[in-house]
Structure 1
Amino acid sequence: MNFDELQKKWQSEEVSAPEISLDHQHKINNPLQKIRKNMKMEFWSNMFTFIIIFFLIFTIDNLKLKTYAVILTLTAVLVSAFYYLKFFSLYKEIIFQTFNTKDSLKTLMHQFELNKQYYISYYIAFVPIIVSSYIVLFEYLPSYKNHNDMVFILMFGLTVLLGITFLYLIGKWWFNYFYGKYIIQIDKILKELL
Structure 2
Amino acid sequence: MELENLKELWNKGEQELPEISLKKQDEIHSPLEMIRINMQTEFWILLLTLPMLLIGFPFATKDISIRIISFSIAFLTLLIIIYFYSRLLKLYKLLKKRGVNTNYDLFNIKTQLLVSKEIYISYYISYIPLAFLSCLERIHFEFNSGYNIAIFIGSFLITILLLCFLIKYWTYYMYGKYIQQVVDLVDELNRLEVIPNRKKNNSWFERSQKYFMKKFGIKGNVLNTIIWLISVYIFITIFFLIVILIIVFIGEKLNIIDLKTLLKALNQE
Question: Normalising to structure 1: TM-score of the pair?
Answer: 0.82
CA–CA separation in structure 2 for the residues paired with 1:170 and 1:119: 11
Partner of residue 175, structure 2: 179
Say if 2:76 is the partner of 1:86. no
Partner of residue 155, structure 1: 151
Partner of residue 77, structure 1: 78
**Aligned residues: percent identity?**
29
**Cα deviation code 1:100-142 (max 9, x no counterpart):** 11221122111111111111211121111111111111118xx
CA–CA separation in structure 2 for the residues paired with 1:61 and 1:175: 33
| Contact 2:80/2:123 (<8 A) preserved | yes
Bigger share in helix: 1
Unaligned runs of at least 5 residues, structure 1: none
Q: Given the superposition, is the C-alpha separation of residues 79 and 106 from structure 1 closer, same or farther in structure 2, using an over 3 Å criterion? A: same
CA–CA separation in structure 2 for the residues paired with 1:57 and 1:151: 24
CA–CA separation in structure 2 for the residues paired with 1:59 and 1:151: 25
**Cα deviation code 1:30-86 (max 9, x no counterpart):** 111111110011112112211122232365351523332222111101001110011
Q: Which residue type is aligned with residue 75 of structure 1?
A: L
**Cα deviation code 1:140-164 (max 9, x no counterpart):** 8xxxx7x853332233123212211
Instruction: Give the number of the structure with larger relative contact order, counting CA–CA contacts within 8 Å between residues 6 or more apart.
Output: 1
CA–CA separation in structure 1 for the residues paired with 2:58 and 2:187: 52
CA–CA separation in structure 2 for the residues paired with 1:48 and 1:35: 20
Q: Which residue type is aligned with residue 74 of structure 1?
A: F
Q: Which residue type is aligned with residue 151 of structure 1?
A: Y
Unaligned runs of at least 5 residues, structure 2: 191-269
Q: Given the superposition, is the C-alpha separation of residues 50 and 115 from structure 1 closer, same or farther in structure 2, using an over 3 Å criterion? A: same
- Classify the secondary structure of the residue corresponding to 1:139: coil
Say if 2:140 is the partner of 1:139. yes
CA–CA separation in structure 2 for the residues paired with 1:150 and 1:66: 25
| Contact 2:58/2:70 (<8 A) preserved | no
